[in-house]
Structure 1
Amino acid sequence: MPTVVVAPDKFKGSLTAEQVAAAVSSGLRRVVAADVVAVPVADGGDGTVAAALAAGYEPVSVRAAGPTGEPVRTTYARAGDLAVIEMADVSGLVRLPGGRQEPLTATSRGLGEVMAAAIDAGCRRLVLGIGGSASTDGGAGMLSALGARLLDAAGAPLAGGGGPLGRLAGLDLTPLRARMGEVTVTVACDVDNPLTGPRGAAAVYGPQKGASAADVAALDAHLAHVADVVTVTTGADLREEPGAGAAGGVGYAALAVLGARLRPGIDLVLDLVGFREKLVGADLVITGEGSL
C-alpha cells in the first residue's frame, strides 16, 4: 500500500492548513487504498501554532495584551521546555479592535507577555513566529513585558507604540537579562529588511499597518533613535542586520537584545513538526499554499 504525505500550508481566505489536510486526506481515501499521513505546515506566520498542535504539541492558553492594550486570549504550543508562540494571534493585525489600524500606538507588548508566561512556566527554548504584526514599535513592547525599562528624560516609562519612542532617554536591561539568562530564542523570519531606511520596517511595512507618509517618516526616525540607545547599552549596532526590520522591528529587538537566531519560517516549522522524518518511505507528497 502506498504512503502519501499531505503537507499543505493554509489556503488563506478559504481553509486553514489543518482543514486542507483533512479534505485532501479524505478525498484520497475515497479513491485509493493508501496510508495517508496528514502534516499541516506553516511558514512562521499565522497557523504556526496550529501546525505545532497538529503535530502533538500541548496547547497552553494565556491572557495577554492585544496590539492596542485590550486583553485577548491566545494559545502557545508546548513540548517539554520548548514553546512555540505566534505573534499574529496576540499582537497581530487580526487582533485590532474593529480592524482599526493604530500605526503609532500599536504595541508588541502582548508577544512579550506570552513569552514571559512561557518562561515562568519552565520553558527555556522559545520559537517565535512574527508574521502578521500590527505594530512598528521596534520590539519595545515585547522588551518591556520581559522586564526591560524604557524611560523618558524624566525617568518615567514610555507609553506603548512606535510614536513615543523618539522620547527614549534611558534603557535598563538588568531585569530582562535576569529573566532571559538561560532562555534561547529562535525567530521565524522570511524577510531581509534592515531596521531603518528606505527598505526598513516603517518604510516598507508601515503603510500596510495604516501609517501615512508623515507617520512613516516619524517612525523611521524613532526606530533609528532606539537603535542608537540600544547600541550604547549593548555595545553592538545590529540595525542593518537582515531581518531586523521584520514585524515592525521585533526582529531587531530579538537580535540585538535577546541574542536570538533568525531562521527561514518554513524550514523552522518543518523541523518543529518532524516533517523530514515523515518523508521516510513516502511515495508521494501533496502540498500547496493558497491552492494545490
Structure 2
Amino acid sequence: MTATPLPGGTWTLGDLTVTRFGYGAMQLAGPGVMGPPADRDGALAVLRAVVESGITHIDTADAYGPHVTNELIREALRPYPPELHLVTKVGAHRDADGGWPPARDPESLRRAVHDDLGRLGLDVLDVVNLRLGNALGPVPGSVAEAFGTLVELQRQGLIRHLGVSNVTPEQVVEAQSIAPIVCVQNAYNLAHRDDDELIDGLASQGVAYVPFFPLGGFAPLQAAELSAVADRLGATPMSVALAWLLRRSPNILLIPGTRSLAHLRENIAGAALVLSDEDLADLDKIGR
C-alpha cells in the first residue's frame, strides 16, 4: 500500500495531529481477543500496511490478547515513525475465561501503564484512555480515584494526554473537572446513537469522540435504509456506515479494525464515499 490522502483529513489530540481515519488493533489477537493470531506474519503485514497507508492513529490495549497486540505493534513498527501516535487503554484485565474484570485500583492502573510502556517500547505514552463501566456499557459512579491516578502518572511524564472510555456524560464532566481530556471513546454507530448530544458538546470543546463498534461490533449493522443507500451507491453497507460517521461530526475519529489487508483497503475506500443529502436523510432514520 502507498500513502494517499485519507478520508476525513486530520484532528488534533492535544498537541498531536492524527488522521481521522485510524486503526483499531483489537482484532489482531486470537478468537475472543485471547491468545496469538492464527497468522502472525499476516498480522504484522497488516500493521505495516496501516502505516504505509498514511494512518497515524493506532488504538490498542495490553488487555488485547492479553499483551498480544502491543507485542505485535512493537515488532512490526518499532522504531516508530515520528508522525505515528499510539493510543492505549487501561482499566480492565483478562481472566482465564476470557472475561474483562475491572482493574481500576491505583496499583493496577500504575502497573498497566508501565506494562504498556515496556511492551510497546516507549518512554511516554501519547494518549491513555481510562476504561470504565463493563461489557454491557457505562456504569454510573465517580471516576475521581482512577482518573486521578492517571493524572499523577501524567505529571510524572509517563503520559502525554488523557481520555476516558465507556463512560456516561456525567463521568466525562467529572473527569474534565480533574484534568483536561483529549478524547472520549464510547460505543456508537448508525443504529446506536445515545451519545448524539455528547458528541456535539465535545465537538464544541475541541474534544475528539472515538466510536468503538462503529460497524455494530459482534452483530453487524443491518437496516433497510442502510442497504438501500448502499445499493444506490454500489457500495457495501459497512462502507456507508463508516462514511456516515466521518460526516456525522468533525470530531469523530474512526478506528475500524481488521486482520485482512484487503479489508483494510476496503475500509479506507468505503470511508471516502460521498453521501448526498438524500443519503444522509435516509440514514438518519435508522438511529431515530
TM (norm. structure 1) is: 0.34
**Bigger RCO (CA 8 Å, 6+ sep):** 1
Q: Whose Rg is larger?
A: 1
TM (norm. structure 2) is: 0.34
